[in-house]
Structure 1
Amino acid sequence: MMKISKIRLRQEPYKSFIVHNEKDPFTPWHHHPEYELVLIVQGQGRRMVGDHVSRFTKNDLVFLGPYLPHQWACDPEEGDSDNGPQDEAFVIQFTYDFMGNEFFEIPEHISLKRFLLESTRGIEISGKDKSKIISILNSMFDMNDNHRLYALFSIFEVMGSLSEYNFLASPGSINNLPTKDNDPMQLALQYILQNFQNKIRIQDLLELTNMSYASFYPSFKKAYLMPFKDYLLKVRVGYACKLLTDGSMHISEIAYDSGFENLSNFNRQFKKIKDITPSQFQKLYKKH
């Protein structure tokens, strides 16, 4: 079982946010209340965010929401040589209220605020937007404090209009997901997260949202970037990943407790989402 530690970087006095250069070994499996932007300057290995496991290499760029467990575990051969390259990351951390309680609430920040809410799952940034952010980050170490602040604002500008990015952790791995009262898609999401262990009938969601079958499906896909059935599957797999990392239940028990009707279907759908079997996933986490 992986123990989640609460590890926070030291914030210097009279500074509103943190700029940190991290060297191998990187911080172990942990979480913290700050938002975090991580750029891998040098190195490669295994990146774990929530229930998501994948490889990382140089220029890996990820944005994390508060209290989302994560770890970048470097390959042993990287950085071992005294003369070889050392694993290195550039990290920026800030709290939601670092510029005051109203900063992210103003109308001009509506897109940026949505991005911050979505970061509860962890976001891997790619494409041209990634190149823009990396360029800003690479110049920040040589800036004074005042210029660093405005550079961060430039990063916010890019984040508010991102077009190329991927979510990392499955929705089922998120606790205390923020919701807006009376929003049909948020009501549907809340219902799914509360009932995914049982059979969910589409009719229940239509009654809850007061929507027709024809309007619900495209609205859900627009809001959550995937069809309803795919989202439900990811929620169930995400929850199963949490149980697998705990290690206290048999895989067949985990399958039924996560909403799957039988073990064979669970194994098939899990591999479809994670590209590895449940037993392989469990062994992968035990290594760290």
Structure 2
Amino acid sequence: MTKIELEEITPDSGKSFRLKTSASKKCFYWHFHPEYEIVYVEGGSGTRHVGQHLSQYEDSDLIFIGPDVPHLNFDYGLGHEINQIVVQLREDFLGQGFLQAPEMSAIRDLFRRARYGLSFAGETKRTVSEKLKGMSALPPFAQLICLLEIFHLMATSQEVMQLNDQENGHPSLQKDKDRMAVIYDYVDANYHLKPDVNHIAREVHMTTAAFCRYFRKQTGMTFTDFVNHCRINQAKNLLLQDRTVGEACFSTGFDQLSYFNKVFRKLNGENPTAFKKRYLKDRRRA
């Protein structure tokens, strides 16, 4: 039975945190770690699965995740290289009392809210991403100052979405974490075929009816909707690679173009042709 993985993280030499500019896995990686994590990804359309929250991002995403929150790697399912920057650190990375200083009250609250998973948009995402992109060229002390500026920007931003209504790091959720890992692994391997809800229910030792109730509670959608979500996400990345709508449709397990167009529009608010034209037009302007 596939298990959720504990990612072991060691700070960079001579620093109190870890900065990675190349963390691409592409394959399924449902994991957690005791560190806080900033993730910025750019250059693809991916799945944002943090705790019990499941949605899509388009072109770029900026996330701040608290300790022990299970999450999927943000480059999962992408068939091409993307830019990705990851910062990982412990809550006491600057000492036990650092966050208790009165000047740190906003950042202390940011760290508290990160336990629910936070996604940032707009000017906040643009400004923070530019700072993250420049960090690797800075000396260690300047990197630390830059990181504190990033935390301040996040802490005072109004362009933020809380992803979960409850914390997802409690040990009692371990069984849920493991079950979701099994489910994702199965869908990842079979989305282009015909994933069978009865099969995956047996894999997690539940009746089909109990599994359907459980899955809706965990993700807010039916298993069929989840499979279509994964298929459309894969299709979007094929379109971003300039594949045809037909290729994107049939390569991701849809039998009919009309149904593919219907599901795509439902999830994205536009049909596949319009999505592809808009993205390629924006990319030419960049």
Shorter-chain TM-score above 0.5: yes
Q: Structure 2: how far apart are the matches of 1:241 and 1:176? A: 10
Q: Identify the residue that residue 137 of structure 2 maps to in structure 1.
A: 142
Amino acid in structure 2 at the alignment position of 1:138: K
Q: Identify the residue that residue 90 of structure 2 maps to in structure 1.
A: 95
Q: Structure 1: how far apart are the matches of 2:98 and 2:223? A: 43
Amino acid in structure 2 at the alignment position of 1:109: M
On the 8 A contact 2:107/2:155 being kept in 1, the answer is yes
Q: Structure 2: how far apart are the matches of 1:133 and 1:91? A: 12
Secondary structure of residue in 1 paired with 2:73: strand
Q: Identify the residue that residue 196 of structure 1 maps to in structure 2.
A: none
Q: Identify the residue that residue 277 of structure 1 maps to in structure 2.
A: 222
Secondary structure of residue in 1 paired with 2:125: helix
On the 8 A contact 2:47/2:57 being kept in 1, the answer is yes
Q: Could you tell me which of 120, 129, 132 is aligned with 1:125? A: 120
Q: Structure 2: how far apart are the matches of 1:252 and 1:76? A: 29
Q: Identify the residue that residue 73 of structure 2 maps to in structure 1.
A: 72
Amino acid in structure 1 at the alignment position of 2:56: R
Q: Structure 1: how far apart are the matches of 2:17 and 2:167? A: 30
C-alpha change, 1:50 and 1:39, in structure 2 (3 Å) is same
C-alpha change, 1:2 and 1:128, in structure 2 (3 Å) is farther
Q: Structure 1: how far apart are the matches of 2:25 and 2:51? A: 20
Q: Structure 2: how far apart are the matches of 1:94 and 1:7? A: 13
Q: Identify the residue that residue 154 of structure 1 maps to in structure 2.
A: 149
After superposition, what is the alpha-carbon deviation per residue over 1:111-137, rounded to whole angstroms, capped at 9, x for unaligned? 211111111121111122222211211
1:2-21 correspondence to structure 2 within 5 Å: 3-21=3-21
Any unmatched runs of 5+ in structure 2?
183-203, 231-286
1:72 is displaced (CA, Å) by 2.5
Q: Identify the residue that residue 53 of structure 1 maps to in structure 2.
A: 54
Q: Structure 2: how far apart are the matches of 1:75 and 1:50? A: 16
Q: Structure 1: how far apart are the matches of 2:31 and 2:69? A: 8
Q: Structure 2: how far apart are the matches of 1:126 and 1:283? A: 25
Residue 165 (1) aligns with residue 160 (2): yes
Amino acid in structure 1 at the alignment position of 2:79: E
Q: Structure 1: how far apart are the matches of 2:89 and 2:140? A: 14
C-alpha change, 1:2 and 1:64, in structure 2 (3 Å) is farther
On the 8 A contact 1:244/1:254 being kept in 2, the answer is no
Q: Identify the residue that residue 115 of structure 1 maps to in structure 2.
A: 110
On the 8 A contact 2:68/2:168 being kept in 1, the answer is no
On the 8 A contact 1:244/1:282 being kept in 2, the answer is no
C-alpha change, 1:44 and 1:139, in structure 2 (3 Å) is same
Q: Identify the residue that residue 24 of structure 2 maps to in structure 1.
A: 24
Q: Identify the residue that residue 207 of structure 2 maps to in structure 1.
A: 250
C-alpha change, 1:40 and 1:87, in structure 2 (3 Å) is same
Amino acid in structure 2 at the alignment position of 1:249: M
On the 8 A contact 1:44/1:75 being kept in 2, the answer is no
* Higher mean C-alpha displacement, 117-126 vs 276-285: 276-285
1:57 is displaced (CA, Å) by 3.4
1:283 is displaced (CA, Å) by 9.2
Secondary structure of residue in 1 paired with 2:88: strand
1:69 is displaced (CA, Å) by 0.9
C-alpha change, 1:50 and 1:76, in structure 2 (3 Å) is closer
Q: Structure 2: how far apart are the matches of 1:254 and 1:243? A: 14
Residue 43 (1) aligns with residue 38 (2): no
On the 8 A contact 1:43/1:78 being kept in 2, the answer is no
After superposition, what is the alpha-carbon deviation per residue over 1:125-168, rounded to whole angstroms, capped at 9, x for unaligned? 11222222112112112211121111001112112212121122
Q: Structure 2: how far apart are the matches of 1:254 and 1:76? A: 25
Secondary structure of residue in 1 paired with 2:86: strand
1:9 is displaced (CA, Å) by 3.5
Residue 104 (1) aligns with residue 99 (2): yes
Q: Structure 2: how far apart are the matches of 1:75 and 1:8? A: 19
Cα root mean square deviation, aligned: 3.4
